């Protein structure tokens, strides 16, 4: 005999398996005896927060930074180059923008990156030009190579040949070739020649120094041009130019004396024939009334007498 099951008592667990039963057709669920009722959780939707309005200053700053990076890359510079200069520049801009300003585009130039880098480059150029002017300013070439560079060589050359010429006059005086008047006239001619030769040697010295100083000026001009044309990313080192100048000066100190003597040549500085002629002319002008003439004639007579005596002795 089959058991009869009342449809009204059938558990209707539903799609969630809830231990409820309901009477068919009633639509009302009842808890199953002996089981606690199941609490169906209710979900309260979390409200979506309203996003904060974007800060126009930060938006402008982000665009400026992007343009900055692009300009650095275009110039072949590292993206971290001159970061402190950029930050300082834009911070000054941000500080000038009133609080609550909606439109800040007027404060950020579209050429901001170029303006910053141009200013940095100009500052570097001025700095380097200042270094060049300090190192190679004024009459710097004369400081490297003073006018006295060849004084010792000039004095040695001039004094040596002057002394030789003076000795010739002194020997002529001692032999009676010149009297005092003639000797003094010859000495005066020698001194005049010395003054002329001193000027000539100084001219040779000046030409040599000018050649070396022109080379120093070229170094200075190259340094100044490098400073003036400096581009960001280039390297400017004043020591490179200072080393070149020192090398030129050292070469001048070592080689200029020999070059000077080669320029002077082997021709004597003093024309002894001309100097002796001046002595003779001065001496001849006083022959008629100068006691030195009689003295000289007496010396000749005695010398001739001694010569005849020797000849007489030889005749015996």
Last residue of a domain, one of 102, 136, 170: 136
Kindly state whether residues 148 and 132 are assigned to the same domain: no
Q: Same structural domain for residues 231 and 119?
A: no
Which run of H or of E encompasses 20? strand 20-22
- Is 179 within the bounds of a domain? yes
Please tell me the predicted confidence (pLDDT) of residue 283: 82
In this structure, the answer to whether residues 106 and 158 fall within a common structural domain is: no
β-pairing verdict for 29-31 and 20-22:
antiparallel
What is the model's pLDDT at position 56? 83
Cβ atoms within 10 Å of 136's Cβ, excluding its own: 22
Query: What's the pLDDT score for residue 314?
Result: 41
Q: Is residue 282 domain-shared with residue 144, that is, in the same domain?
A: yes
Q: How far is CA 235 from CA 75, 110, 215, 216, in A?
A: 15, 29, 23, 22
Joined together, the tokens standing for residue 254 give 């070592």
What's the confidence (pLDDT) of residue 12? 47
In a domain, 24, yes or no: no
Q: Which residue has the higher pLDDT, 57 or 116?
A: 116
Could you give the CA distance from residue 245 to residue 240 in angstroms, rounded to a whole number?
9
In a domain, 113, yes or no: yes
Kindly report the backbone phi and psi dihedral angles of residue 103, in degrees, each rounded to the nearest multiple of 5, phi listed first.
-110, 110
Report if residue 75 sits inside a domain: yes
Per-residue pLDDT band at 70 (split at 50, 70, 90): very high
Cβ partners under 8 Å of residue 299, min gap 6: 176
Residue 173 shares a structural domain with residue 121 = no
Average pLDDT over residues 82-96: 92
In the listed set 121, 136, 151, which residue is the last one of a domain according to the structure? Answer: 136
Q: 198: how many CB neighbours lie within 10 A of its CB?
A: 15
pLDDT at 82 over 60: yes
Say yes or no to pLDDT of 17 above 60: no
Q: What confidence score (pLDDT) does residue 100 get?
A: 80
What is the pLDDT at residue 307?
53
Mean pLDDT value across the chain: 82
Regarding whether 221 and 115 lie in a shared domain, the answer is: no
Mean pLDDT computed over 271-275: 90
Whether residue 187 is predicted with pLDDT greater than 90 in this model: the reply is: yes
Average pLDDT estimate for 84-91: 93
- The answer to whether residues 83 and 158 belong to one domain is no
| pLDDT for 176 | 87
Mean pLDDT (whole number) for 133-142: 94
Region 175-193 average pLDDT = 92
CA atoms within 13 A on the CB side of 42: 1
The pLDDT confidence band at residue 209, using thresholds 50, 70 and 90, is very high
* DSSP secondary structure of 79-117: TTTTHHHHHHHHHHHHHHSPTT-S--GGGS-TTHHHHHH
Q: Are 306 and 300 in contact (CB under 8 A)?
A: no
Range with top average pLDDT, 96-105, 240-249, 301-310: 240-249
Kindly report the length of the chain. Answer: 316
Between 18-32, 39-53, 174-188, the lowest mean confidence (pLDDT) is in 18-32
Q: Is 30 helix (H, G, I), strand (E, B) or coil?
A: strand
Range of the domain at 107: 56-136
In a domain, 19, yes or no: no
Of 108, 136, 164, the residue that ends a domain is 136
Angle formed at CA 104 by CA 101 and CA 107, multiple of 5 degrees: 125
Cα→Cα distances 145→5, 23, 131, 151, 158, Å: 130, 124, 21, 12, 22
| Residue range 227-260, pLDDT digits in tens | 999 999 999 999 999 999 999 999 999 999 999 9
Q: Is it the case that residue 133 has pLDDT exceeding 70?
A: yes
The encoded tokens of residue 75 equal: 């110039």
Residue at 51 is within a domain: no
Report whether 234 contacts 167 (CB < 8 A). Answer: no
Residues 276 and 154 in one domain: yes
Distance of CA 259 to the CA centre of its chain: 30
The CA R_g of the chain, rounded to the nearest whole Å, is 56
**Domain assignment of residue 44, yes or no:** no
213 in a structural domain: yes
Q: Express as a percent the part of the chain with pLDDT over 70.
A: 74
pLDDT of 305 > 80? The answer is no
Distance CA(49)–CA(194), nearest Å, equals 106
Tokens of 101: 């300003």
Instruction: Return d(Cα 120, Cα 85) in angstroms, integer.
Output: 8
Over the stretch 156-174, which tens digit does the pLDDT of each residue have?
Answer: 999 999 999 999 999 988 9
Q: Are the C-beta atoms of 38 and 18 separated by less than 8 Å? A: yes
Same domain, 114 and 144: no
115 with 180, same domain: the answer is no
Write down the pTM of the prediction. 0.67
Is the CB of residue 183 less than 8 Å from the CB of residue 292? no
Asked if 174 and 150 sit in the same domain, the reply is yes
Mean pLDDT computed over 288-295: 45
Structural domains counted in the chain = 2
Residue 284 above 80 pLDDT?
no
238 & 193 share domain: yes
Q: Residue 211 pLDDT > 70, yes or no?
A: yes
């Amino acid at each position: 005999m089959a058991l009869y099951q009342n449809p009204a008592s059938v558990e209707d667990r539903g799609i969630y398996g809830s231990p409820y039963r309901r009477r068919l057709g009633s639509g009302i669920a009842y808890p199953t005896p002996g089981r606690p009722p199941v609490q169906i959780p209710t979900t309260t939707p979390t409200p979506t927060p309203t996003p904060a309005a974007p800060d126009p200053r930060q938006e402008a700053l982000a665009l400026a930074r992007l343009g900055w990076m692009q300009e650095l890359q275009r110039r072949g510079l590292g993206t971290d180059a001159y970061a402190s200069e950029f930050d300082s520049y834009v911070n000054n801009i941000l500080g000038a923008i009133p609080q609550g300003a909606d439109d800040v585009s007027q404060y950020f130039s579209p050429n901001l990156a170029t303006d910053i880098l141009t200013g940095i480059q100009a500052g570097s150029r001025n700095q380097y030009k200042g270094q060049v002017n300090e190192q190679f300013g004024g009459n710097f070439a004369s400081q490297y190579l003073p006018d006295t560079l060849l004084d010792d060589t000039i004095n040695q050359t001039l004094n040596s040949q002057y002394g030789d010429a003076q000795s010739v006059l002194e020997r002529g005086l001692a032999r009676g070739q010149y009297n005092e008047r003639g000797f003094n006239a010859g000495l005066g001619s020698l001194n005049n020649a010395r003054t002329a030769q001193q000027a000539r040697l100084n001219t040779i010295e000046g030409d040599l120094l000018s050649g070396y100083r022109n080379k120093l000026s070229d170094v200075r001009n190259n340094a100044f041009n490098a400073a003036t044309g400096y581009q960001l990313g280039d390297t400017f080192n004043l020591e490179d130019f200072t080393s070149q100048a020192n090398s030129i000066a050292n070469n001048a100190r070592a080689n200029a004396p020999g070059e000077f003597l080669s320029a002077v040549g082997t021709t004597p500085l003093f024309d002894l024939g001309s100097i002796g002629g001046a002595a003779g002319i001065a001496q001849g002008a006083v022959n008629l009334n100068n006691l030195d003439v009689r003295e000289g004639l007496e010396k000749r007579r005695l010398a001739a007498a001694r010569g005849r005596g020797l000849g007489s002795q030889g005749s015996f």
